[in-house]
Amino acid sequence: MKLYGLKNCDSCKRARRDLSMTGVELEFIDIRQEPPSREVLESWLAAVGEAVLVNRKSTTWRGLTDDERAMPALSLLAANPTLIKRPVIMLESDVHVGWTDQVRTALGCQ
């Protein structure tokens, strides 16, 4: 299982803690240090959609110009990986975004 996020993100910290308690092998990827490739971003967008993947409540989003906000999601996320809603959890071909009750249940952390 891979967890993409930021090391200081509270949701990512909770997800890492909860998942480690289940005994699952977890690889953490800090998206600031290792931004996902365009191919990975394309697969996430295809799996969950722009509305789920783009964090429009973030400080990064508020700092964008209207022209930047109008960019295609793939280009926007590639240029600003901190706009990715976190955490993004990959389990085989499944993509889970956020650390919601639904995601916790799907990953056996309830």
Does position 110 have pLDDT exceeding 90, yes or no?
no
The pLDDT confidence band at residue 24, using thresholds 50, 70 and 90, is: confident
**Residue entry with tokens 């953490």:** 28
Extract the tokens encoding 68. Answer: 């930047």
Q: What is the CATH number of the domain that holds 41?
A: 3.40.30.10
- According to DSSP, the β-strands at 2-5 and 88-91 are antiparallel
Does position 14 have pLDDT exceeding 90, yes or no?
yes
Does position 96 have pLDDT exceeding 80, yes or no?
yes
Chain centroid offset of residue 3 CA: 8
Positions marked catalytic: 9
Enclosing domain of residue 77: 2-106
Number of Cβ within 10 Å of residue 97's Cβ equals: 20
The count of domains in the chain is: 1
What SS3 class is residue 100? Answer: coil
pTM of the predicted structure, to 2 decimals: 0.93
Cross-strand bridge partners of residue 97 = 88
